[in-house]
Structure 1
Amino acid sequence: MSTKIKWRKPKKIRSDVIATAKATGHTLQFWHALLVGDELTVISITDEPESSHLVNAIYDTSDIEEWMNYRLNYRSLRLWSLTYEQELTTPLHIAAGRGFADCLRHLLRREADVTLSPGGTTALHEACEGGHGECARLLLSYGANANAVNEDGLMPLHVCTSPESLECAKHLLQFGAAANGRSLEEDDTPLHVAARHGLLDHVDLYLRYGAEVEKQNDEGQTPLNAACSEPQAPEDRERYLRVCRMLLRAGADVHTEDRDNQTPLHMACKQVNPDVVELLLRRGASVNCMCYSGDAPMHNVLKATAYKSRNQPERVVRALLNHGSIRVWPGALAKVLKYCCTSPRTIEVLLNSYDRLKITDAWSEAVPPDVFQEHRQFYESLFALKQTPRSLQHLARCKLRLLLEGRVHEAVPKLGLPTFLQNYLLLDFRDYVH
């Protein structure tokens, strides 16, 4: 597997001196008003001629206690120190990042500069990151650049990573944001970001604005690859399934490989998402393609079973086998049992794809006593086969599956068999082997 080391662009070293604020009695009062969204105080202070400069003040908050000691009008920024990171902000950044639209509106009316980015990011980025749609709209209407790039190489659309940021994304696109704009480091498009975060409405929005579904980022991932590569809790699987379904309808290719020759199916198996795996297989994904490290999708799911048993890895293994996946070399089954024993159904469906098993002492040694006790019925049925051949019913199943090869999933439903026999041929779970 290829390994790529990414270097973060170093921050620009500055030697200038920035005024935080004039030492007036309003400075600290104005600061506190911004933090809590006190609109009336912001208006009253900025309306006074001697305090008008505060709307474009740049605050160094890296040491707030030192900053509040504002006996000096100016202070030097110690940017050459490797251990001293400046956190620079402006009133616009504070109001936009906290969603205080009324305060933001008054600052803009008093000619606050929307282009300021003292800390490497614009107020528009702050609004979008916080999902504050009205703040984003205000900034854009006052001239904020919808395609501004922050210090991490991200445009505002790239930081729309929450469901709440949908309105921000809509405003950005209406004001000319590039639907296919690339991030500087990862080469991601907004569609990559939305797919990676499982944001269905964002994906739909970007596709309607012309986002290209087969764009590949720096790692060779398309948005479909990105969606399938994201670790997903069981409660999030439905969102990602809908995202993948939408991308496929828009023309995403299930065969596109990333830099490590991993297809979306490889990644969905690695993340153990059975719904997406079944979707990709129905769309013709290649079940036996090998990635750069020589792993097929089956290898990926078996490697992940031990720590993703909640994700129903047995469904993934069953779907792969029914679509003609390669199986594990019989001599390695004891090793598979050792690492996958906490998911007995995964063991069951895998072993039911063999017509005979050579069970040795290594098999029983591979299952810890506590796991054996938790799943006693299953493992007793398995180890009983050490001295007993498989049943005739099972042997008949194996023979028919061998004749159908990789067409089991589509041929069995057409045989007109009773439902229980169809399920048996398709390796339905019984929680024991016979």
Structure 2
Amino acid sequence: MYNSSSLRSLEQERHQMRLAAPVVSGYLLRKEARDRGTSSRQTTGNPVMVCRDPVVQNALYTGNIEAVTEVFSRGYPSDLIIQPQGGDMRWAANGKVRGLWSLTYEQESTTPLHITAGRGFSECLRHLLLRGARVDLTPGGTTALHEACEECQPDCVRLLLQYGANANATNEDGQMPLHMCTELDSLECAKHLLAFGALINGQSLDENDTPLHVAARHGLPDHVELYLCHGAALNLQNDEGNTPLNAACSQPQDCASLERYSRICHMLVSAGADIQISDADKQMPLHMACKNANPDVVDLLLENNAGAFVNEMDYGGDAPLHNILKVVAYKTEHEPERIVQALLNYGSIRVWPGALPKVLKYCCSSPRTIEVLLNAYDRLKITDAWVEAVPPDIFQKHREFYESLFALTQTPRSLQHLARHRLRTFLEGRLHRVIPRLGLPTFLKNYIMLAFRDYMH
């Protein structure tokens, strides 16, 4: 808050600041921003002044429109550089000890425009713009427009654009404002940017990501739909060789986000995304979807001819089946058994029988995955190593299933299973096309396609 002495102090400073930084009208500043072109790093114009006054900073950071109006009035420059100080723990080394954590202070340059835009103080922002604040200043390496997009402030984004902000400015990391729209709540920001000429296929300087890459990677289906409607390129590859589809498939996903990423992949594939493009490590979208255990995406890719590449190996020698088996223990809630089932039904290679005890050890927390995997063999040579591979707590939790499995030590597989195995061997790689056309009863069709029964027979 202000008292009489602080206000008098501010008045005394204003006269000096008028001499050092005369105000340029809002019209001329907007014209200057348009004339500068696409570079956001140009800060030509009147010299700026550094402000460390806590009174001014308090007005900006709290969005106090009355105080901001009072401070930035009649000649007080709105292009101040604000340098707030904040404590930060850093690792420091000296000659006596290897290192220690110490509290140091870092100065971060910003402007009144950045502060108000990033916090959604649109009335304060409007006043600063009317006072002639230069809309594309980048003292800290980023524009106020980048800040507003990153913080999901659509009203401030629109206001900045109306006052001439460069919709294609790049920050110090080579990203345009559209690249900063990484949250679900940033959709309106993206719409404003596109309405003011943001490049739909503009690529970041460091990674060569397009906005579609960013939206796909961050699981933003509404953004993806918006960008596709504006003509986003589907198959552009970034520096890692990823297309937007690859980016969506390769992003780690928790259970809550599986559906969003599935929607994105369906939109991209429906729009014509190439499912066969691999990244720099020769990983196709199917490899990535298996690694992140998204069963709906795996089904989508297999149905759209990725089945032809179900046994493709990446540079590490891993096929899609290897990728899903590696993560089963950490992705049991993702229904990894559905992925193993789909891969096998599309002709995936099987695990070498000698490696089955090791697979059992790492995947035993998902008995359905074990069930569908083992049902791809006509016979099983179960030994003590199999029993020892299942921890007692897992055995007790899934006792009925593992008792049925270990009972096969002395019992051959059923005739029904052997007939299924013979038919599957005959139709290897064609099961997904042939079985649905045979007109079989649903139960029998599901059985042939390795439906889960939660016990071995």
Q: State TM-score, norm by structure 1.
A: 0.88
2:83 is matched with which residue?
Answer: 60
Of the candidates 199, 202, 223, which is equivalent to residue 181 of structure 1? 202
For 1:364-403, what per-residue CA distance to the aligned partner results, in whole angstroms no more than 9, with x for missing partners? 1111111111111111100100111000010011011111
2 CA distance for matches of 1:86 and 1:264?
43
Give yes or no for contact 2:48–2:80 (8 Å, CA) kept in 1. Answer: no
User: Which deviates the most, 33-42 or 356-365?
Assistant: 33-42
Q: Quote the offset at 1:95 in angstroms.
A: 0.5
Match of 2:71 in 1: 45
CA distance in 2, matches of 1:88, 1:381: 67
Alignment of 1:261-410 (within 5 A): 261-285=282-306, 286-410=309-433
Q: Which amino acid is the alignment partner of residue 91 of structure 1?
A: P
Paired residue type of 2:50 = T
Which residue of structure 1 lines up, in the alignment, with residue 245 of structure 2? Answer: 224
- Identity of aligned pairs, percent? 66
Number of aligned residues: 394
Instruction: State the distance in 2 between where 1:85 and 1:292 align.
Output: 43
Helix, strand or coil at the partner of 1:137: helix
The answer to whether the 8 A contact 1:224-1:252 is kept is yes
Are 1:229 and 1:267, in contact at CA under 8 Å, matched by a contact in 2?
Answer: yes
- Contact 2:86/2:106, CA 8 A, preserved across alignment: no
Q: CA shift at 1:298, angstroms?
A: 0.3
Match of 1:113 among 134, 156, 159: 134
Q: What secondary structure does 2:85 align onto?
A: coil
8 Å CA contact retained: 1:355, 1:390: yes
TM-score by length of 2: 0.84
**Partner secondary structure for residue 274 of structure 2:** coil
Give the letter aligned to residue 98 of structure 1: R
- State how far apart, in whole Å, the 1-side matches of 2:269 and 2:144 are: 35
On the 8 A contact 1:56/1:90 being kept in 2, the answer is: yes
1:391-420: CA deviations, max 9, x gaps?
Answer: 001001101111111121222222222111
Q: Deviations along 1:146-192, whole A, 9 cap, x unmatched?
A: 11111122111111001111111111112221111111221111100
Q: Structure 1 238/63 Cα, relative in aligned 2: closer, same or farther at 3 Å?
A: closer
Range with greater deviation from structure 2 (164-173 or 313-322): 164-173
User: How far off is 1:20 after superposition?
Assistant: 2.2
Residue of structure 2 in register with 1:4 after alignment: none
Q: How big is the shift at 1:352?
A: 0.4
* 1:169 corresponds to 2:216: no
Partner of 1:211: 232
For the pair 1:242 / 2:268, whether they are aligned, the reply is no
Task: Please name the residue that 1:124 is paired with.
Answer: 145
Structure 2 CA distance for partners of 1:131 and 1:63, relative to 1, 3 Å: closer
Alpha-carbon shift at residue 98 of structure 1 (Å): 0.5
Q: CA deviation at 1:320?
A: 0.4
Q: CA deviation at 1:233?
A: 1.4
Q: Report if aligned partners of 2:57, 2:82 keep a CA contact under 8 Å in 1.
A: no
- Helix, strand or coil: the match of 2:387? helix
Determine if contact 1:62/1:88 at 8 Å carries over to the other structure: no
User: Aligned-pair distance for 1:223?
Assistant: 0.2
AA in 2 matched with 1:185: D
**Partner AA of 2:453 in structure 1:** R
Which runs of no fewer than 5 residues in structure 1 stay unpaired? 1-16, 65-82
- CA distance in 2 between counterparts of 1:293 and 1:316 reads 20
SS at match of 2:51: coil
Gaps of 5+ in 2: 1-46, 88-103
Residues 84 and 219 of structure 1: is their aligned pair in 2 closer, same or farther, counting only changes over 3 Å?
farther
Matched with 2:38 is none
**Cα distance in 1, alignment partners of residues 362 and 183 from structure 2:** 36
Report the 3-state secondary structure (helix = DSSP H, G, I; strand = E; otherwise coil) of the residue aligned with 2:240: coil
**Residue 28, structure 1, aligned to residue 58, structure 2:** no
Amino acid of the structure 2 residue aligned with 1:37: G
Please state whether the residue corresponding to 1:245 is helix, strand or coil. Answer: helix
CA distance in 1, matches of 2:139, 2:165: 15
Distance (whole Å) between structure 2 residues aligned to residue 397 and residue 279 of structure 1: 26
Code of the aligned partner of 1:386: T
> How big is each residue's C-alpha offset from its partner over 1:340-367, in whole Å with a ceiling of 9 and x where there is no partner?
0111110000000100111111111111
Q: CA deviation at 1:99?
A: 0.9
Tell me the amino acid that sits aligned with residue 249 of structure 2: C
**Counterpart check, 1:253 vs 2:274:** yes
- Preserved CA contact (<8 Å) 1:93 1:126: yes
Residues 200 and 211 in structure 2, CA contact (< 8 A), matched pair in contact too: yes
Quick one: distance in 2 between partners of 1:88 and 1:431? Answer: 61
Q: Which amino acid aligns with 1:394?
A: H
Corresponding residue for 1:67? none
* Distance in 2 of aligned mates of 1:229 and 1:380: 37
* One-letter code aligned to 1:411: V
Aligned to 2:156: 135
Counterpart amino acid of 1:138? L
Deviation at 1:30, TM superposition (A): 2.8
